[in-house]
């Protein structure tokens, strides 16, 4: 495998492939999307490098991916590659992208820099996750709005229940059977009341979890 040795101060002791240097010197898709559908920040606390990611989504496909990265040459190059690989991928395809794909695409990374390949991938997955949470919450609000028009204010009823549970002892834990879309779970979480919630429908549980994560 061919590596080139950089002689500048920043990369003096590093060994990178030509492909890495190409992406480091001319990173693709750098920037920010103002009306992004999903956003994320991902970082590696061990070295302090981090990225900010914005995505546009069309029909469950990553239509655009922009980022800003603060980090080493490998962090910049790997994020540039992820942006290239991600654009045009469906969520399913994007979920299958791994850090190994990034390393392979770049023709290898020095051992001590392999962890850098996680950054872009983590950022991509987190931005998709953020998009899903926002979309789910939008649907949740639309649904509640519809019920309100029919005379049922579900969030308000759940808040009233939470108020009535205010006197519970500190160690109490409420068991909810039938989470639904998570209205009660959210009201209790906002009131700081511990809750265990179960539902026979996996879909409803997923929806409730996404709604709780929106908070």
> Quick one: 114 or 143, whose CB is closer to ligand FES?
114
44 binds ligand FES, rule: CB under 6 A? yes
127 binds ligand FES, rule: CB under 6 A? no
- Separation between Cα atoms, residue 80 and residue 38, nearest integer Å: 18
**Quick check: 166 and 188 in contact, CB under 8 A?**
no
To the query of whether residue 158 is one of the catalytic residues in this protein, the response is no
End-to-end CA distance of the chain: 48
Question: Shortest approach of ligand FES to residue 75 CB, angstroms?
Answer: 4
The three-class DSSP label of residue 103 is: helix
Half-sphere exposure of 95 (CA within 13 A, CB side): 7
Question: Shortest approach of ligand FES to residue 71 CB, angstroms?
Answer: 5
- Separation between Cα atoms, residue 44 and residue 65, nearest integer Å: 20
72 binds ligand FES, rule: CB under 6 A? yes
162 binds ligand FES, rule: CB under 6 A? no
15 binds ligand FES, rule: CB under 6 A? no
Select the residue interacting with ligand FES from 21, 64, 65, 71 (CB under 6 A). 71
By CB under 6 A, the count of residues binding ligand FES is 11
- Separation between Cα atoms, residue 92 and residue 114, nearest integer Å: 24
> Quick one: 116 or 185, whose CB is closer to ligand FES?
116
67's CB contacts (< 8 A; 6+ apart) are 29, 30, 31, 51, 52, 53, 54, 79, 83, 120, 123
**E strand or H helix that includes residue 52:** strand 49-58
Select the residue interacting with ligand FES from 11, 14, 42, 49 (CB under 6 A). 49
Select the residue interacting with ligand FES from 55, 81, 103, 116 (CB under 6 A). 116
> Quick one: 62 or 73, whose CB is closer to ligand FES?
73
**Site residues, ligand FES (CB under 6 A):** 44, 47, 49, 71-72, 74-75, 113, 115-116, 119
Residues annotated as catalytic are 47, 116
């Amino acid at each position: 495998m061919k590596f080139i040795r950089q002689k500048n101060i920043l990369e003096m002791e590093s060994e990178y492939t030509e492909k890495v240097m190409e992406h480091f010197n001319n990173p693709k898709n750098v920037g920010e999307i103002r009306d992004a559908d999903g956003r994320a920040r991902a970082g590696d606390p061990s070295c302090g490098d981090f990225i900010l990611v914005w995505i546009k989504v069309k029909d469950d496909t990553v239509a655009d991916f922009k980022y800003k990265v603060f980090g080493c040459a490998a962090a910049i190059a790997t994020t540039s590659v992820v942006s290239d690989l991600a654009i045009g991928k469906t969520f399913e395809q994007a979920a299958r992208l791994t850090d190994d794909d990034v390393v392979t695409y770049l023709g290898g990374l020095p051992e001590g820099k392999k962890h850098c390949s996680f950054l872009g991938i983590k950022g991509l997955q987190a931005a998709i996750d953020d998009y899903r949470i926002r979309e789910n919450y939008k649907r949740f609000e639309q649904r509640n709005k519809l019920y309100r028009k029919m005379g049922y204010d579900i969030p308000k009823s759940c808040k009233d229940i939470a108020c009535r549970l205010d006197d519970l002892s500190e160690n109490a834990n409420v068991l909810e059977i039938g989470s639904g879309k998570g209205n009660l779970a959210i009201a209790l979480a906002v009131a700081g009341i511990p809750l265990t919630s179960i539902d026979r429908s996996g879909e409803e549980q997923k929806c409730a979890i996404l709604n709780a994560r929106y908070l």
